[in-house]
Structure 1
Amino acid sequence: MENGSAWHSKIDNNKICWLAFDTPNKSANVLSEKALIDLDKILDELHLNTPRGLVFTSSKKTGFILGADINEFTNSHKFDDIYKATIFGQSIMNKIENLRCPTVALLNGFTLGGGLELALSCDYIISTDSNKKCLGFPEVKLGLLPGFGGYLRSIKKIGPISALDLMLTGKFITPKQAFNLKLIDVLTPWDSSDNKEIVAEYILSKPKKTQAKWYLRILNFLPFRILIYLSIKNRIRKKIRSTHYPAPFSILNLWKNYGSNKRKAHIESAKSFCHLYLTDSSKNLIRVYKLSDTLKSLASKEKKLNKAHIIGGGTMGADIASWCALKGIHTNLQDKDINFLQPGLKRAKKLFKSKLKNESDILDASKRLNVDLLGEKIKSADIIIEAITEDLKAKQELFKSIENEASSSAIIATNTSSIKIEDIAKSMSQPERLVGIHFFNPVHRLPLVEIVKGKQTSKQIYDAAISYVAQIGKLPLPCNSAPGFVVNRILAPYMNQALVCLMDGYKPETIDKAAKDFGMPTGPIELADRIGLDIALHVVEVFGATPPDILKTKVIAGELGAKTGKGFYTFVKNRPKKSSKFPNPDKDLSDRLIYSLLNESMSCLDDGVVNNMDLIDAAVIFGTGFAPFTGGPLNYAKSIGIDHVVDRLESLEKSFGSDFRPSKGWKKLTI
């Protein structure tokens, strides 16, 4: 191909064409419009001058193909244009499938979305082995479905149950798991020099193509389809609403209506893709994906850290330490007594076993996590994170001591959730060295970490903290020091309003249903119980607000939520016991909850805690689980109209008090 093409072909002595994909100026391969056009031309040439075999390979160390270029997704807004592009993509995959020679996809890591669809168009899929979960159809997480024919080809190759599971969940699987599903035909060692020989042998011997077993194929017949469709649909409806997330239901309906009918399934999957692409849900989920990329891109390519020292062996400290060790950092965990550390060390073992499938990797991670009761390793640490109790004096005394022991190049950080960085740094002779690195609980599950800049924090330390968070696979959210920072500040009025509604006579179950009906993952009453009512009380007090009496009463009684077995709910095996009979929420209740959160989001932006709207939306989505299909609280406010939001807040203020007084920032927001 001409210069600038991502495709590079070579014919070997066996007359096999090796077609290497290498997207220019990117670390990973993506199927951009240009890449597809170039591939289409190459395939036309190969149909005229057919080689003995065709092998797709990647020149990237990061993997095979990540899928379509997400940055091109917002270029078109017309159904006909999107449909034309989708059908063009399908035609390319059909050309691969219809070549008059054996075709092989040689995978070497991440193979996602359109990349997996291309692989499935080949006669055989050969992959290097790995423990990484690197194969899947993530389209559903963008509110879409596989549009280039992967829907049908995956069903034909591994059967509808396994194929639907991949498409409906968007989960990634390892090459070994894919091999067990028969999605991959051959597994080879990671750096095998025999790969070319194995591929050549497949092309020359032309073994029978893999297809689903007969007992899986018959599930595509209509009677079976209906039964399976109803079962899966009922399970999905318990978790999500079709109005919020239409993609899983579209995938199911596509299979129910057309099964494995090749002609109809291809056309209808293209139509479904286009309809989904034009929904607000998909636009907002793509926005969420880009917000994640934005946070990742904030990290500069600083020198990677090798040694971490965590002080405080409670839930947060121990879990931060185990996460660091999991991500390859040699970590020391310090507390006053080994008995304080034992629960956290047990959780670390469970974490390593759940995240690492290889026994040697588990052992290596365990070796990277060590106990240092006396803090002897502080001096050699690249980063020191304090995670002790939320007591200002205790933190000040600790940092005064740490500052004298730490290396001059070390990052010194606090995991405080509410105390201002400037207040903690008052005890330090070099307050510019202190930065906030605020993780959320549970550490292993929540991706966001707030990087909090005090008034004196140096840019060098701040940037290094952001890079560290990216290094351990988390999303860094830069913000300025202020009470509650971003997430807790925005969450506090929402939680507080839920408790006020409880005092007004609403049932806990009704309040939680109002939030979940909107799209929140967990209702605020259950969330308060899970956070801990003592912690919830502390957060309210940090903001100088008057805690609801019902919250103070529970804390005084020792009913602190899930950790004590009783809060607003009674917990059995860490599950809240909820009544099945309770009144449905009314509009006032729903609006009191959601609009309190929207209003505080705007106030947080207006006060300069973060410097743009995207960071607010990212913080609330990745830090609280705020309904992703909305694109974030401020994006949602813009979608329903700023004037409408202000009018509703003014109405709520008249009915329920000054908590709903509209933020001054609404007037400044550019629509």
Structure 2
Amino acid sequence: MITPYNVQQTAVIGAGTMGRGIVISLARAGFAVLWLDNDPSATEAGLAMIAQTWAQQVAKGRIDKAEADACLARVRQVTAYADLAEVDLVIEAVYENLALKQDIFRTLDSTLQAHAILASNTSALDIDAIAAVTRRPEQVLGLHFFSPAHVMKLLEVVRGARTSPAVLHAAQALGQRMGKQVVVAGNCPGFIGNRMLATYVAEARKLLLEGATPRQVDEALQAFGMAMGPLRMYDVVGIDLEWRARQLAGKGMDAPLVQVDNALCALGRFGQKTGQGYYRYAPGSREALHDPEVDALVLKIAQDLGVHRRVIDDEEIRERCLLALVNEGAKILEASMASCSADIDRVYLYGYGFPAEVGGPMRWADQQGLGLLLARLERLQGLFGEHWRPAGLLMRLVAEGKQLADVREGRA
């Protein structure tokens, strides 16, 4: 008899990019995987893709053919939810739509055996809202993989308000067996990584409207050591993902900060995949080439919005983007959405290309000196407004002569 959280048989819902990466990760770690998509042809295409992926690994000498065959044999396509009745853990990996995910979780809850764990690969949605439609909220949590899931090392395990310690432990063990850097995050919009990223990207977009160019923003941050600047990152991920999400949600399209993205998408400039985004790309090349047309587009949008443009230097770009990260990280830590500053740093080192030699945004803040950092935040607050108000935790740590590294579960 299987003990409650001895996870052996797993399942994945969804055969898109994320679903495929998750299936590869599970099978490579030795788990049996049942794979379901409402379009069987998508699963068949997924099976062909993962077979090709393992064949490439064999060709490169990274694994032998026997291992590749064993991995592929662990994956089985199924066509109905009833086929998942005996699994120990299921990971839903469909697109970011709360109502759709809730429908899936209702069906899973009524179909799967009583001890099964139900996980969502959401990157930002409310885990508690998903858990609320089930009769087993203590067995629901988030498993936020990063794309491509079989390559990226980070896994955010998102605990809901009622997620049991045993389920949380089982999810962490699952991630570790897959070779992931596992970080437990609280349930808040964007969790740890994307919640911080939103503030970082917002500053990049403001700087663009205020006088910088895409290339200047990216190169200033890459000079700091970031693997990729924020606008180049959007080209790689696809500018259209958030654009389509705004359209689907029916809100956010009028926000000033997304008008450049909206205009690029209206021109079919979705990023690297279409050969044009914030940059131009030669056919078959990933090299980001400066595009004066985008600079002109940014200038026009700034003028239309009535933004006064000025000369912005690289140091201002770095300061505003990095301090936005740190201030939001401190708020996350203060609210116990992360257990310690080192966990936040791991998220940024393994999921967002923060320079390894710096050690993560929170360690960088401690190295800068929190007193100096607080003064810089207060200066930005005076210049740009209340959204720059320093986190209460930072003010308290400076007063007590402590560092972010001293904080555990919101307390120093």
Q: Please, what TM-score do these two structures have when normalized by structure 2? A: 0.83
Determine which of 39, 43, 51 is the counterpart of 1:349: 51
Within the candidate set 372, 375, 383, 1:655 is matched to 383
Note the 1:417-432 alignment, pairs <5 A. 417-432=123-138
1:346-495 aligned at under 5 Å gives the runs 346-355=48-57, 356-495=62-201
What is the deviation of 1:318? 1.4
- Residue of structure 2 equivalent to 1:505: 211
**Aligned twin of 1:90:** none
1-side partners of 2:321 and 2:223: how far apart? Answer: 12
1:554 maps to 264
Once the 2 structures are TM-superposed, how far is the Cα of residue 656 of structure 1 from its aligned partner? 3.4
Question: 1:550 Cα shift?
Answer: 1.3
Match of 2:408 in 1: none
Cα distance in 1, alignment partners of residues 27 and 115 from structure 2: 21
Residues 409 and 645 (structure 1), Cα distance of their counterparts in 2 relative to 1, 3 Å cut = same
Give the distance between the partners of 1:407 and 1:525, measured in 2 at CA: 45
Which whole-Å CA distance do the structure 2 matches of 1:327 and 1:620 have between them?
24
CA contact (8 A) 1:302 1:464 kept: no
Aligned residues: 371
The structure 2 residue matched to 1:605, chosen from 317, 324, 333, is 333
Deviations 1:54-104 (A, max 9, x none): xxxxxxxxxxxxxxxxxxxxxxxxxxxxxxxxxxxxxxxxxxxxxxxxxxx
Aligned to 2:305: none
Aligned positions of 1:97-116 closer than 5 A: none
Letter in 2 for 1:321: V
CA drift of 1:406 comes to: 0.9
Provide, for residues 613-668 of structure 1, a one-character-per-residue CA deviation record: whole Å limited to 9, x for no partner: 22111222122121111121111111111111111122223333433322222123
Equivalent residue for 1:229? none
Question: What secondary structure is seen at the aligned counterpart in 2 of 1:506?
Answer: coil
Which of residues 392, 396, 407 is equivalent to 1:668? 396
Aligned to 1:639: 367
Q: Work out whether 1:308 is the aligned partner of 2:10.
A: yes
Shift of 1:333: 1.4
Contact 1:511/1:585 (8 A) holds in 2 = no
The share of aligned pairs that are identical, in percent, is 29
Q: Which amino acid aligns with 2:270?
A: L
Is 1:620 matched up with 2:326?
A: no
Structure-to-structure mapping, 1:32-111, within 5 angstroms = none
Residue 568 of structure 1 aligns with an amino acid whose one-letter code is Y
Counterparts of 2:162 and 2:235 in 1: how far apart (Å)? Answer: 36
User: Taking structure 1 as the reference length, what is the TM-score of the superposition?
Assistant: 0.52
Which protein, 1 or 2, shows the higher relative CO under an 8 Å CA cutoff with sep ≥ 6? 2
**What 5-or-longer segments of structure 2 have no aligned partner?**
296-310, 404-412
How do residues 139-150 of structure 1 correspond to structure 2 at under 5 angstroms?
none
> Is there any run of 5+ residues in structure 1 with no aligned partner, and where?
1-300
- SS at structure 2 position matched to 1:467: helix
SS at match of 1:412: strand
**Rg comparison, structure with higher value:** 1
Measured in 2, the distance between the counterparts of 1:614 and 1:542 equals: 37
When residues 612 and 577 of structure 1 are mapped into structure 2, their CA distance, relative to the original with a 3 A threshold, is: closer
Deviation at 1:513, TM superposition (A): 0.7
The 1:424–1:495 alpha-carbon spacing in structure 2 relative to 1, beyond 3 Å, is same
Query: How far apart are residue 304 of structure 1 and its match?
Result: 5.0
| RMSD over equivalenced CA pairs, Å | 2.8
Give the one of 570, 592, 611 matched to 2:280. 570
Q: Is 1:531 the equivalent of 2:237?
A: yes
What is the CA deviation profile of residues 395-449 of structure 1, one whole-angstrom value per residue up to 9, with x for unaligned ones?
1111111011112222111011111111112211222221111101111221111
Counterparts in 2 of 1:590 and 1:454: CA distance versus 1, 3 Å? same
Paired residues of 1:621 and 1:627 also in contact (CA < 8 A): yes
The SS at the match of 1:628 is: coil
Cα separation, 2, equivalents of 1:401 and 1:441: 26
Partner of 1:629: 357
